[in-house]
Structure 1
Amino acid sequence: MRRDLNGRPVVAGRLSRLREKMLGRRDRPGLTGVDDPDLIVVAESGDDAVASSAALASSAWRAGDEVVLRHVLRLPERRVADAIATAALDGYRPVDPSADDDSSADTAGTGEVIVLLARVQLLDAVHLSQERSRMASLGSRHSGEALRWQVLQPPVARR
């Protein structure tokens, strides 16, 4: 199912369904979930000073295709469940940290945990900035911090 820029499912209207039935389905199937092992990182940054538009412009990100937007946070162990519950309100799911190839660069002190939160959505620079801000706020409210973000898409050959 396709998703919009805010990660919400998009339900096709009657006209779209009729057009698809008459002309055949033209769009690519959407991503199925955040745990797809075939996804590759096409854009990422851990630098708060880098503009989202600049990071996306210098990456292999394909505009118009759905992405998995993944955020890496460092949180106190006692606050993880609350942070995950809050992020779930916006469609984010926790992801196994072993799914992140660069997780060795992220360190957690005593009583801290590295948490990965991800969701499927369409993406543009404005909404990436919005989500970066949302995760920075989430980390701050739970006595932690947002370390970095990643945009994942399937390889071009699989599309």
Structure 2
Amino acid sequence: MVVATSFDDAEACSAVLARATAWQADAPAVLRHHLRIPAVQIEQVCAIAAQDGYAPAARVDAPSADGLQPVVLQRVQLLDALHCSQERSRMAGLAQRHDGTADGWDALQPGPVTEQR
């Protein structure tokens, strides 16, 4: 389940994580960065991100009105405000260098386990 999300460039990762009621700081999370990249740049962006352990999520959306293709890059990591901020900045720079944009990020962790009868 999504435990934290931010699509506001001005919002600090620490603020997002502080209000995240389901986030478990001591458990790994899937950190996902939502980018929009020109289709011709996607392969190169994914290859560069792979050097840091990121993989594209298995979804294909139609290009947005500005002609950019949505791409979601994800990796598993322990999530804290400092590392989240660093990764958000890294992804924004990667997108900009390839004529794209970083829209935001979210984090997923397993939901509560319910007992089945």
TM normalised by structure 2 equals: 0.90
> Which residue of 127, 132, 151 maps to 2:83?
127
Write out aligned runs for 1:81-96 (5 A).
81-96=43-58
Residue 74 of structure 1 corresponds to 36
Mapped partners of 1:149, 1:83: distance in 2: 16
What is the CA–CA distance in structure 2 between the aligned matches of 1:58 and 1:47, rounded to whole Å? 14
Partner of residue 47 from structure 1, selected from 1, 4, 8: 8
Structure-2 change in CA distance of 1:58 and 1:110 (3 Å): closer
Q: Give, in angstroms, the shift of residue 61 of structure 1.
A: 1.1
Partner of 1:148: 104
Compare relative contact order (CA 8 Å, sep 6+) and give the higher one, 1 or 2.
2
How many residues are matched? 113
Query: Gapped runs of 5+ residues in structure 2?
Result: none
| 1:48-71, Cα deviation, whole Å (9 max, x unpaired) | 100100000101211010000001
Gap regions ≥5 residues in structure 1: 1-39
Tell me which protein shows more strand as a share of its residues: 2
Amino acid at match of 2:71: V
Q: For 2:75 and 2:83, locate their aligned partners in 1 and report how far apart those are by CA, in whole Å.
A: 13
**d(CA) in 2 for partners of 1:146 and 1:116?**
10
Provide TM-score, normalisation by structure 1. Answer: 0.67
Q: Give the CA RMSD over aligned residues.
A: 1.8
Larger radius of gyration between Structure 1 and Structure 2: 1
